Chain A
């Protein structure tokens, strides 16, 4: 289900020598890719950003026992960033997210089943290291 982002169409942050610059084309951005490409590192940088930006909420495996489903259901006008989605999101939550027009999502995982995404909504991380600095961007996976 392809709709425009309802919270942010770009997210930029810096963590020491790491820079994140994501252009968000759709309301759900699903990020896939090989292990070790920096997905969880980027999540930790965005977690840091969330401490200063109340529009952003971050959830990962550490929230598994913390009623994260209610956190998502009670959110309005948030960019919800979910790492470890293959563990956290069951079929019901995937359906909720797919039909939620009030929040925006960045989801890091492997299996986008149930989110009703088109191929061009599935992204991969692209990283470039130059002069000791690493920059992360998104590119289409297909």
Chain B
């Protein structure tokens, strides 16, 4: 399950990535494998043709992987980089559904941004790290 931060991690903790597009283009894109296919299909409704190419959802044209949406890139950043925390403010609802279902990873947002389909997440703040099991409980934690 993913870990949710509502405050920016301290410099001694994990690195926070805010510009998901740039991080993806420079780092995550070089490490894509079959795990990315399902995420790209779910969020961007695109087929991954090769490690660096997708088919456009609009006209089927072959595109460089840098044309993925920011939400899709964010989900992939989280999946492939469990040692970093990623800002999810730019993610659409469809990307949030995928992110909240990832087996691991770290996300940050300073206001509630929750998938309606969420199951369990870890939440982390100044005081503790604990498990939260419902949409309502997570929203309440964010509001505290």
What are the residues of chain B within 8 A of A34 when measuring CB–CB? 71, 92-95
Identity of the chain B residue whose Cβ is nearest the Cβ of A39 in the assembled complex = B69
Binds A, one of B7-15, B39-47, B119-127: B39-47
- Which one of B19, B21, B22, B92 contacts A36 once the chains associate, using CB atoms below 8 Å? B92
Asked if B90 and A87 make an inter-chain contact with CB atoms under 8 angstroms apart, the answer reads yes
What are the residues of chain B within 8 A of A110 when measuring CB–CB? 89-92
What are the residues of chain B within 8 A of A64 when measuring CB–CB? 19
Asked if B89 and A36 make an inter-chain contact with CB atoms under 8 angstroms apart, the answer reads no
Asked if A87 and B89 make an inter-chain contact with CB atoms under 8 angstroms apart, the answer reads yes
Asked if B21 and A61 make an inter-chain contact with CB atoms under 8 angstroms apart, the answer reads yes
Identity of the chain B residue whose Cβ is nearest the Cβ of A136 in the assembled complex = B58
The distance in angstroms between the C-alpha atoms of A130 and B35, with both chains bound, is 32
CB distance from B37 to the nearest CB of A (A): 15
B111 at interface by CB-CB < 8 Å: yes
CB distance from B39 to the nearest CB of A (A): 11
Asked if B111 and A111 make an inter-chain contact with CB atoms under 8 angstroms apart, the answer reads yes
The distance in angstroms between the C-alpha atoms of A37 and B46, with both chains bound, is 11
B62 at interface by CB-CB < 8 Å: no
What are the residues of chain A within 8 A of B46 when measuring CB–CB? 36
What are the residues of chain B within 8 A of A111 when measuring CB–CB? 89, 111
B70 at interface by CB-CB < 8 Å: yes
Asked if B89 and A38 make an inter-chain contact with CB atoms under 8 angstroms apart, the answer reads no
CB distance from B126 to the nearest CB of A (A): 22
CB distance from B17 to the nearest CB of A (A): 11
CB distance from A132 to the nearest CB of B (A): 6
B18 at interface by CB-CB < 8 Å: yes
Asked if A35 and B89 make an inter-chain contact with CB atoms under 8 angstroms apart, the answer reads no
Interface residues of A (CB under 8 A from B): 17-18, 32-41, 61, 64, 84, 86-87, 109-111, 113, 127, 129, 132, 134
Interface residues of B (CB under 8 A from A): 18-19, 21-22, 43-46, 57-59, 67-72, 87, 89-95, 111
**4 closest Cβ pairs, A-B complex:** A35-B71, A36-B44, A35-B92, A34-B92
| CB<8 Å pairs between A and B, sample of 25 | A17-B59, A34-B93, A35-B43, A35-B72, A36-B43, A36-B45, A36-B46, A36-B57, A36-B72, A36-B94, A40-B69, A40-B70, A61-B21, A61-B22, A64-B19, A87-B87, A87-B89, A109-B90, A110-B89, A110-B90, A110-B92, A111-B89, A111-B111, A127-B58, A129-B59
Supplied contacts A35-B95, A84-B90, 17 more A-B pairs, CB within 8 Å: A18-B58, A35-B72, A36-B46, A36-B57, A36-B68, A36-B72, A36-B94, A39-B69, A40-B70, A41-B67, A61-B19, A87-B18, A87-B89, A87-B90, A109-B90, A129-B59, A132-B59
